[in-house]
Structure 1
Amino acid sequence: MWWLSRVRGLQFPRQSFELSYIAALVFGAGIGAYIFGTLNLWASGMAGIARSVEGALAGGIIAIELYKWRHGISLRTGARFALPFAVGVAVGRLGCYFAGLEDFTYGTPTALPWGHDFGDGVSRHPVQLYESLAMAAFAAFYVGSVLNRNAAVITNGFYLVLLYYGLQRFIWEFLKPYGGLLGPFSLFHLLSLFVMVYAAVMLATAPRVSLKHERAAA
């Protein structure tokens, strides 16, 4: 996001650069990653400890909202994380794909021609690639919007990427072999709903921004 700021002179809330803010974000994301990743593993009938990107996201959101409430911060501080998050997931899911069965992010069996055998002789949905491509598409959309000075996307980019991420993740979860918590819905289905509801509320209550392409503070 730094290079976009240099190109367009965008300004991000200073609160999101404070060390205490970063510490709260890292702590919340770390706790969320392990708690939700491990709970999903157990719900799927497997022992051990696991981490989850979506768990980290949920933990980070909760930690930062508590931090902002504690310090009386009413500004929206997530704008500078929109592009890094989208790119991070797109790249990170490639790592999950190459990690194979050990990573436990593979898909359910499929007869589709692009199914992939991760080493157990079963052709499976490469859901990691589905998610990587989906998030790369958002990153491209976001960069194009910023370069065109779309104030609405710049200001609300973080919540737009959360809404998009939650929606695409909710869909891909139907193609994963995770245990259900509520009927056909896994823990990550529920986390995806949480992320989408949070993003939708933040977008619905956001200050109105002109949809015209104009220079705006992020």
Structure 2
Amino acid sequence: MDFPVTFHIFDTTVLAHPVFEALGMFIGMRYYFFLKRKSKEKLSFNTSAAVLIGATAGALIGSKLIGNLENPYKLFEHFDFKTIWTNNTIVGGLAFGLMGVELAKKIVGHKESTGDLIVFPLMLAMIIGRIGCFLTGIYEETYGLPTKSIFGMHLGDQYLRHPVALYEIAFLIVLWIVLKMIQRQKKHPSGFVFQSFMLSYFAFRFLLDFIKPRLELVGNLGTIQLVCLCVIIYYIFKIKNIKTVHSH
């Protein structure tokens, strides 16, 4: 396979990553609305709108903020709006999307969890998006470090590299199966599936980034890993508190 894989759309050559990212978002949203129609939990229009706006605004801000802070020196040395706009990371999108939703719920006075329904559409969108990351190879910053392991692949240069996008796809498929099993048990409180997804994914990304190029900011940790640590700590306490309340 030759990297990067490109598509010719309206006489323009486009990398696979943005194509699959857009496709993933579209299919993920269609899957979410399908599940929402089937769901017995009905939210009011105000709550639904507030959650959607909070999630979208938080995700947009967070994905670009954390994406650009992966290399803050580069950001401040050469300010370029196009580069800033195209720098994204799902870690920032998820973390700040969560903050946006929690803020929106406080504004409208909604206390129940609203996250379980979005888990599988979100995972589907991420899997499709990561296919695009893999097909783009080294031409966007979603590739792994050189490796001599049996998993090494040529992604567009002379090195055998960790195909981190494929690792993430495999992880998400396994996590999907596990979370579906948890969901079918129906013995956990509302929101537990979403919290388990967030805790699992951020723990995975914290470890995965050790085999990705990164600027070390604190010790040997990069920006994304520091964000992951914050989210992991938050959810460890949140799940612990929910289990304590539920057991009483």
Q: How many residues align?
A: 207
The 2-side partners of 1:92 and 1:13 are apart by 29
Alignment counterpart, residue 77 of structure 1, candidates 99, 106, 114: 114
Alignment counterpart, residue 62 of structure 2, candidates 32, 43, 46: 32
Alignment counterpart, residue 135 of structure 2, candidates 98, 103, 117: 98
Report the aligned-residue RMSD: 2.6
Aligned runs of 1:105-120 on 2, under 5 Å?
A: 105-120=142-157
Q: TM-score, normalised by structure 1?
A: 0.84
Partner of residue 215, structure 1: none
Aligned AA (1:183): G
Aligned runs of 1:58-73 on 2, under 5 Å?
A: 58-73=95-110
Q: 1:208 aligned to 2:239?
A: no
Q: Secondary structure at the match of 1:11?
A: coil
Pair 1:12–1:113, CA change in 2 (3 A): same
Partner of residue 216, structure 1: none
The 2-side partners of 1:43 and 1:115 are apart by 30
Partner of residue 41, structure 2: 12
Alignment counterpart, residue 185 of structure 1, candidates 216, 221, 224: 221
Q: Is the 8 A contact 1:33 1:51 kept in 2?
A: yes
1:103-160 alpha-carbon deviations (Å, 9 max, x no partner): 20101110112211111111111111111111111111222333x3333176410000
Aligned runs of 1:167-186 on 2, under 5 Å?
A: 167-186=203-222
Greater shift after overlay, 137-146 or 27-36? 137-146
Superposition deviation, residue 101 in structure 1: 1.2
Q: Is the 8 A contact 1:44 1:178 kept in 2?
A: no
Q: 1:152 aligned to 2:188?
A: yes
The 1-side partners of 2:104 and 2:34 are apart by 28
The 2-side partners of 1:165 and 1:192 are apart by 9
Pair 1:153–1:100, CA change in 2 (3 A): farther
Superposition deviation, residue 3 in structure 1: 6.1
Q: Is the 8 A contact 1:159 1:199 kept in 2?
A: yes
Aligned AA (2:203): L
Pair 1:107–1:165, CA change in 2 (3 A): same
Superposition deviation, residue 198 in structure 1: 2.2
The 2-side partners of 1:157 and 1:15 are apart by 22
The 2-side partners of 1:87 and 1:154 are apart by 21
Partner of residue 194, structure 1: 230
1:58-82 alpha-carbon deviations (Å, 9 max, x no partner): 1101111122222322211111112
The 2-side partners of 1:13 and 1:171 are apart by 37
Q: Is the 8 A contact 1:15 1:77 kept in 2?
A: no
Q: TM-score, normalised by structure 2?
A: 0.74
Partner of residue 176, structure 2: 139
The 2-side partners of 1:171 and 1:88 are apart by 22
Identity of aligned residues (%): 26
The 1-side partners of 2:126 and 2:236 are apart by 20
Superposition deviation, residue 41 in structure 1: 3.9
Provide structure 1 residue ranges, at least 5 long, that are not aligned to the other structure.
Answer: 211-218
1:28-81 alpha-carbon deviations (Å, 9 max, x no partner): 100111111111144578963201111111110111112222232221111111
